Structure 1
Amino acid sequence: MATDTTHFEFEPGFTDNRLRVVWYAALAVLLLIGGAAMILRITEGMTSTNLTSTTPWGAWVAFYIYFVGLSAGAFLVSTLANVFGVSGMHRVDRDALFAAIISMVVALMFVWVDLGRMDRMYFPFIWRQLTSALSWEVHAYVAYIAVLVTELYFSMRIDLARVAERGSGLRAGLSGLLTLGRRSTSEASRVTDRKWLTRAGIVGIPLAIFLVHGGTGILFAVSKARPYWNSGLFPVIFVVSAVLSGTALVMMLYVLRTKLFDDEPVDRDLLNRLAVLLAAFIVVDAALTGIEMLIAIASLHPHEVETWAVILFGEMSWSFWWFMVGMGWLFPLVMLSKREWRETPWLMVLAGLSVVIGIIAVRFNIVVPAQILPVMEGLPHGSYFPSLVEWATSIGMIAVGLLLYTIGAELLPLTPLDRGDH
């Protein structure tokens, strides 16, 4: 890509057409699988799942809070450039914001499919319940998405105007529409964009921490009938694991876009900075989880002790030890332990992917174990593992997110065209 006035070329996307064909073909297969499963979900209702009155929350809720966290974490990474002005982080702020928007879209798709009556998804906006944490959350999500879109607009508006003016074809036309009529590329307009970008970021920080993902943690923490959830640390752990997964995602996307789309060398200083942040968040996340476990066990509350026994040694132990501890903490920490490794792009992709997958187990270990044990003596024990329809619909919705991100990456200037800092 170039941005001088005599020659302008803007052709983001896969540098290898064969890779593009393979990627879109793989997504098409996943979307077909997900679409077929969604038809079963709509026609057969909840009977197509393994959810019951004892365990009413399962994979879809776990993926919902996972993608909300992924979004909040990616957004908070973007604020390092847009609010706090950390040098070099501008290279990833648009990617982080766009990934945050896509993650919220996917999260809301999981909420929608989990509804017993999917056709009533708009009810919270018509009949509001001021005492309901869930009602507040729905409105916070709308405000949060608006902030993300606003930030992404002001972050790349100058480049959209450049593409619209000097580019050609579909990308130029789309860029022209997305400028919303503001085509100026003057220094004064740049300063105005930066001012509003910072303001939106400042508004978004408390929104993401206290209402979006901290608020999602509150949905669990206020459940007094489940002592494992009823903890003041839960919202804090939600936020920390969100920043952890968001940092891993942004680091992974930065390397993949730079290598496969921009065909440029990776900024090793930036990669090292992201890797150090990732390592720090892993340590904090593991420490908070350990503190939460020790408090629960020391309380000697039967429900909490038994729930942690299920997680550590029972039917959820595979998720805790292999995925949460192994892939979420230990393996990436080893990869991040040496500066030479932290500056090796494909090792950091592997470390980031390991964390992104490992945090999924964190969400499952939050949602499922507390529902396995009965809330009162005499009630039946729960038992849950996602059905084939639950897995297939989940794969399909994740594929929708990947498709939306890929299309955006092929059409939008998610990498600053001038390569300069803001």
Structure 2
Amino acid sequence: MSTKEYDFGFSNSKVRAGWYALILIAIGIGLYGAYFRLTAGLAETNLSATVPWGSWVAFYIYFVGLSAGAFLVSIMASVLNMKRLHVIERDALFVAIISMGIALLFILADLGRPDRALLPLLHRQGMSVLSWEVHAYSLYVLVLMGELYFSMRKDLVKMNENGSGLRAKLAGILTLGRTSTSEESLRFDRRWLKRLGLFGIPLAIFFVHGGTGLLFAVNHSVSYWHTGIFPVIFIVSAVVSGLGLTIALYIARAKFFGERLQTELLDGLGKLLGTFILIDFGLKALDTLVGVYGMAPAKLETWEQILYGEAAWAFYLMVTFAWLVPLILISRRSWRRSPKVMAAAGLSVVVGVIGTRFMIVVPALTVPDMEGMPAGTYSATIEEWALAVGLIGLFALLYTIGSELLPLKPLEDH
């Protein structure tokens, strides 16, 4: 393989410059929000004792969902051995890692005392769901990093031996001294890749995103959250968002990095996306039916807020872009094989699930816990949105740099 084969990344320097410029603008906007957060604390937000969680918590569970969903996509390749998905396995793992990092930055911003963020790791509380979540997140990130390492170690060795410049030096460091490409070494990598994947499945499902849903479901005082199906809804919508993002990134890499696109893979991913969207819709419909049919006042008031309140935009964003638009776009086989159509479907889901997360967090908190208590109100401030834009920009920056420096696509496919 020639040295040129290791020189992956943007095929057009003008596109690269324009893309990094957009990212830096987004991060600059985020620095504006970060400045007010650091100097004024939570005073620059519209959070209150009645509505203590807002946009940053919504984005936190959104990015945790992206991470868990992308990880479960990678599992289909590494554990279930769906060979067509091997081409996006590393991409999905890398997205899972940086999504988790961004999620933790969002929740760090929401903490009144961010300097105490590590205390749950030092002082364990066995009866606290939050304490369990902090430990699960830490272990989960280590599993993801291990999987990504074993998945791409062989290509890292090749890059170190045959490549040049920063990519080759970085690849040499990331091999961690394991430079053998013998069949025995590769079998060792595959074996541990599968072991970590098998360990990560229950970790991601029951502790990472199912556990995040549990943080809401165990809250008895908020009737809308207090249901056993809530953690399951979190998991399924996580797969939907993670799969949508993976599809969009796969097509974007092929477009801007000059990589080969597999239409058969797009077709399969479209079918998979449609399946999980329908499951997501079914679970949410069942949960809604049970709540509304029971005529519980708090449930009915929450749904009134969801449909007509200040955060009603989130519900209609979810219905339109997480369900209707992608289902229409993937309804025909010829459309599922079209990169443009599938990119639109993937991005539609990514945007739509943001509405899902806001719909979960905000409307339920505006309904009083007890009769006679005042109703809450909340709408995100400019500073809150600015910080969110900056952290999304940071996600884009980390992914882009990783895509240009790391073999996130198997080199044999170049």
Tell me the TM-score range normalised by the shorter chain: over 0.9
**How many angstroms does 1:187 deviate by?**
1.7
For 1:90-239, list aligned pairs within 5 A. 90-239=86-235
Q: Do the aligned residues in 1 keep the contact of 2:66 with 2:239 (CA within 8 Å)? A: yes
TM-score between the two structures when normalised by the length of structure 1: 0.97
CA distance, structure 2, for counterparts of residue 13 and residue 134 of structure 1 = 40
Moved more, 7-16 or 58-67: 7-16
* 1:81 pairs with 2:68: no
In the alignment of these two chains, the number of paired residues is 414
CA shift, 1:7, in A, is: 5.4
Greater Cα shift, 31-40 or 134-143: 31-40
Q: What do you get for the CA RMSD once the two structures are aligned?
A: 1.1
What amino acid sits opposite 2:77 in the alignment? A
Q: Find out whether 1:241 has 2:237 as its counterpart.
A: yes
Q: Matches of residues 207-356 of structure 1 in structure 2 within 5 Å? A: 207-261=203-257, 263-321=258-316, 323-356=317-350
Tell me the equivalent position of 2:27.
Answer: 31
Kept after mapping to 1: 8 A contact 2:248/2:346 = yes
Asked whether the 8 Å contact 1:8–1:166 carries over to 2, the reply is: no
Say whether residues 1:366 and 2:360 are aligned partners: yes
Cα contact 1:34–1:395 (8 A) shared by 2: yes
Separation in 2 of the partners of 1:264 and 1:401? 22
Letter aligned with residue 105 of structure 2? M
Percent of aligned pairs with the same residue? 53
Once the two structures are superposed, residues 17-56 of structure 1 have per-residue CA deviations (whole angstroms, 9 ceiling, x without a partner) of: 0011011111111111111210111110111001000000
Large movers: runs of 4+ above 6 Å: none
Letter in 2 for 1:231: T
Q: Which stretches in structure 1 are left out of the alignment for 5+ residues? A: none
Secondary structure of the residue that 2:213 maps to in structure 1? helix
Deviation at 1:314, TM superposition (A): 3.1
Alignment correspondent of 1:9: 5
CA distance in 2, matches of 1:238, 1:391: 23
Q: Whole-Å Cα distance in 2 between the matches of residues 60 and 214 of structure 1?
A: 19
SS in 2 for 1:134: helix
What CA deviation, in whole Å up to 9, does each residue of 1:338-371 have, x standing for no partner?
A: 0000000011111100100100100000000111
How many Å apart are 1:299 and its aligned residue?
Answer: 1.1
Identify which of 390, 394, 405 aligns with 1:396. 390
Instruction: Give TM-score scaled by structure 2 length.
Output: 0.98
Specify the code of the residue in structure 1 equivalent to 2:154. I
1:8: how far off? 5.5
